[in-house]
Amino acid sequence: MKAKSDSHTTEWILAEIMQKMPSGLRISGNPLVADGKYGKSVAFNGSSDAIFLESNPLSELDEFTIEVIFMPQSGGSFEQRFLHCGETQGDRVLLELRATETHWYFDAFIAVGEEKCTLIDPDRLHPLNEWYHAAYVNDNGKLTTWISGRKEIEGDIIISPVKGSRTSIGARQNEVSWFRGIIHKIRITEKALEPDSFLKVRTIN
């Protein structure tokens, strides 16, 4: 299920996952491998496409950084979940967006035990149909979101590891809130990264 992994990171290049079809993988709909700005990527139609993995890279972690290289596209629903780790209703981390006709804004949610925290600001709008690097950093309960290297929102939570053993990409685990757009890569690092350690994204010729 892991395109690349070691003791510190889990990296999913979605096109490689789609091509290798590892055990524990379930595909909903027909997400398509397509050329993208950063290499082969996977396109989700916003209504039925998703990837489900029997893996939760956040389990047992008190700190982590999630990074996603993606392009939200116009024509999708208002509420979209593009990454869901953990359980469906219990412990979980959700990376989401809210879309208008022309823009989107980031929504990062975590629930662990009785603790919950949502980082969202409708005034922090970004144009649709462009590529972005999104990061969600958990530094032992100090939470921060970043879009393309710029800090957005901070929050705090009494942290404990996220339970559950599943991940969905392109939709919530119960197959609602579908994502419309393209995802190139997801990286999860087992520590809180500073911005200068985020993924370095380079366009291909």
- The string of pLDDT tens digits covering residues 15-44 is 999 988 888 899 999 999 999 899 999 999
Domain coordinates in residue numbering, the chain:
4-194
SS3 for 81?
strand
Digit-coded pLDDT (tens) for 113-171: 999 999 999 999 999 999 999 999 999 999 999 999 999 999 999 999 999 999 999 99
Residue 90 has pLDDT above 70, yes or no: yes
Alpha helices, DSSP H only, in 46-171?
none
Query: DSSP class of residue 30?
Result: -
Q: What are phi and psi of 198, to 5 degrees?
A: -65, 165
Where does 4-194 sit in CATH, by number? 2.60.120.200
Long-range contact pairs involving 146-149 (C-beta distance under 8 Å, separation at least 24): 146/195, 146/198, 147/106, 149/195, 149/198
Q: State if pTM tops 0.85.
A: yes
Residue 177 CB partners (closer than 8 Å, separation 6+): 77, 79, 80, 81, 96, 171
Q: Which residues pair with 116 in a beta bridge?
A: 111
Residue 6 has pLDDT above 80, yes or no: no
SS3 for 17?
helix
